[in-house]
Each structure stands twice: as C-alpha cells, then as structure tokens.
Amino acid sequence: MKRSSLLRVVGGATMALLVLAGCSSTKPTDTTTSAAAGTTTAAATSAASSAAGSETAGSATGGSETAGSETAGSETAGSDAGSAIPTPSKAAKDYKISFIQGVTGDNFYITMQCGIEEQAKTLGVTVDTQGPTKFDPTLQKPILDSVVASKPDAILIAPTDVDAMQAPLAAAAASGIKIVLVDTTVTDPSFAVSQVSSDNVGGGAAAFDAIKQLAPGGGKVLVISTDPGVSTVDARAKGFNDAAKADGSYTPLEVQYSHNDPATAASLVTAALQKDPDIVGIFATNLFSAQGAATGIQQAGKKDAVKVVGFDAGPDQITALKDGTVQALVAQQPGTIGVDGLNQAVLALDGGETTPKIQTGFSIITKDNVDTTQDAYKANC
C-alpha cells in the first residue's frame, strides 16, 4: 500500500497563547501522540511549557487526558521534531464505514462529518453518518446497535459516556468491526484501533490563561460543563481548574453541569452570578454550554463585568465573540479529527500500521483574529 507521511509539529497551546498575546495568528498544526511500540512522538516545545506556565503545559502538548494511558507523562520529552503519521492515499477497496456523532445538529460534529466525507472521496470508501438527537448514551447505544447489525467494516464514533458506551463498543470490536474513537473516549479504549481527539486538558489550561489575561486581578472562576462522564469536557474542566489552583490567585467554584442544554447553562450562570456576584470569569467547556453562558451573562446584565471563555467555535459562538458577550474561544480542529479518524480506519482495514493515539491542536479566537481565522466551524458542508 502506498502511504504518504503527514508531519505534525507544535501543540495548540503554544499557538493559542501566542495569538492571545497578539502575535501571529498562523493556523496551528497538530500535536500527535503515538503509543505505538511505546514510543513518544508528541512535539512538546519549551515554548508551550513556558507559555502555559504550569505543569498543565505538559498535558497541553502531551495528550494525556485518557486516564491511565501508557503514553501519559512520557511524551512531553521536549522534542521539536514532530511526528510522522502514516496515512493512506487510497483504500484497497470500497469499505463501508459508519460515523456515529455524539449528537446531531452540533457544528463540531457537522464539521467533523465534512472532513470525513471529503476524505472518503479521496480514499474511495463509503461513509454514512448518524447520531442521537441528544448527547446521551441511552439514545446513542441503540444507534450503535443498529449500525453493528448492518455489519460495516469500521465505525468512527464519539462515545457519549466513558462507562455506558464501553461494553457495547468492546462487543462491536470483538465482532470484527474496526472501531476508531473520535473526539471522546471510554474508560478502557484498548479495543479501538485508534483514538483521535483534541488536547482537551491543554485546551482547558489555555482557557484559564485566557481568563487570567482578561481578569488579571484574580478571584472566583466558574466552569460550566455538560455532564460528568464525558471524557472531553471532563478533561477541559480539569485542565482549567488545575491551572487556576496552581496559579493561587483564583478560586475555582464547583463545576456546574448543563446537560448540554443551552437554556440550562444560561440559568446556571444567572443563578451563579446571583449567589457569587464577584465571579470574575466563566469557562464554558463546549459549544452548547458556551451558547448558554453567553445568554446567562446577558440576562444577568454582566456583559462587561464577567469574562467568558468558551470551548468551540460554531457560528453562534463567533457572533457572541463579535458582540462582546464572550471574550475568547478555544477552537478545535474537528475536520482534522475526522480525516485522521477515517485514515486510521482504512489503515486498519488494509492491514497497515495504525497510530493508537492522535492528538490534534486548537487555537484561540478573540476579537483580534476573528475576521481572519480559518478555524470557525461549519454549519453545513
């Protein structure tokens, strides 16, 4: 099989913080971790470490949010060399591959789907996409069951819960279907041929750095997340709160959960601001939490007083950034996650070498670079 090599260097944290500091807004490249043969391929630069200013910088570039990963802790060796990920140029045959989103109608997964569909054309494989109407394992599992019953060659999936999706996915893999985890993961992902996700711990730490720059005097900070048990947002909350604690001038309040519902996120924010009117910053860990947080800030009349940083960069978040309700966005690279995930599925099906863990970067979007960024998510392909 003919393969080309893709070189990935320098983690998102470095570029993200350079952008916040008003430096070049060059599109960041990905940081990639390969667990293959126990080797370390992450590109952790000293710039990333110093920019993030704490040990979370290590995870910012190292991809350790999947707890217990053998690669954790060893990949921040300080190499600038980057890593070569084998990628296929064409599939050996027209494989049937299913992509199961975390939730439908989410600009993040829509953008991922666009990347997957585009790459499917290049590779010559057939992909179908579906997902639950809510980010909920009780809705996602039946979809997985029916996809498995249709006997695809491979499944790309964003599991909606680390525990609830564990057994069904392990069973699907045991039946011979190649499983690639995209975005989120499960408690024991060892059945998967590959996992592709953002640097979520690092993204959370970068969000704290953004709050710190926006509200340098310190004070109470609040994380609005979706649900416990969602690997990505849990890692972002941890990255943020660990960085806040390490700083010493900020007091992280207890994480509040919106169940991925913007209206709930809005009321959590208004209630929190009533209880603690001295909150200086809010970090919303995903698109729908950020959307709700923006509404809550407006309802509370705190638009200028409280600084808000949100993960994700859908059209609504970009609007909130432009109108000043939100001050910074951590934009992931969902299209790249999709492309990488499909490549890994095809490599596995063709009997090639896969990369067990791939970590993609992120960038920070502020008012300063919002008009030039290439990282905003798509509403459709």
If the CB atoms of residues 125 and 205 are measured against ligand T6T, the closer one turns out to be 205
Q: How far is the CB of 106 from ligand T6T (least distance, A)?
A: 5
Binding site for ligand T6T (CB under 6 A): 102, 106, 108-109, 183-184, 232-233, 286-288, 311-312, 332
Which conformational region is residue 262 in: left (phi greater than 0), alpha (psi within -120 to 50 degrees), or beta? Answer: alpha
Residue type, 256: Q
If the CB atoms of residues 95 and 257 are measured against ligand T6T, the closer one turns out to be 257
The total number of residues shown for the chain amounts to 381
If the CB atoms of residues 153 and 183 are measured against ligand T6T, the closer one turns out to be 183
Q: How far is the CB of 230 from ligand T6T (least distance, A)?
A: 6
- Distance (Å, whole) CA 32 – CA 28: 13
Q: How far is the CB of 306 from ligand T6T (least distance, A)?
A: 21
Q: What is the largest CA-CA distance in the chain?
A: 61
If the CB atoms of residues 208 and 311 are measured against ligand T6T, the closer one turns out to be 311
Q: What is the CA radius of gyration of the chain?
A: 20
Q: How far is the CB of 124 from ligand T6T (least distance, A)?
A: 28
Nearest residue to 63 (alpha-carbon basis) of 216, 244, 194: 194
How many CB atoms lie under 10 A from the CB of residue 6?
19
If the CB atoms of residues 95 and 108 are measured against ligand T6T, the closer one turns out to be 108
If the CB atoms of residues 49 and 226 are measured against ligand T6T, the closer one turns out to be 226
Residue 115's φ and ψ, nearest 5 degrees, are: -65, -45
If the CB atoms of residues 332 and 344 are measured against ligand T6T, the closer one turns out to be 332
Which conformational region is residue 22 in: left (phi greater than 0), alpha (psi within -120 to 50 degrees), or beta? Answer: left
Q: How far is the CB of 331 from ligand T6T (least distance, A)?
A: 10
**DSSP category for residue 376:** P
Q: How far is the CB of 143 from ligand T6T (least distance, A)?
A: 16
**DSSP category for residue 190:** G
Q: How far is the CB of 284 from ligand T6T (least distance, A)?
A: 10
- Distance (Å, whole) CA 354 – CA 184: 18
- B/e letters for 106-124, b = 16+ CB within 10 Å, e = fewer, are bbbbbbbbbbbbebbeebe
Q: How far is the CB of 334 from ligand T6T (least distance, A)?
A: 7
- Distance (Å, whole) CA 35 – CA 27: 26
If the CB atoms of residues 102 and 361 are measured against ligand T6T, the closer one turns out to be 102
**DSSP category for residue 93:** S
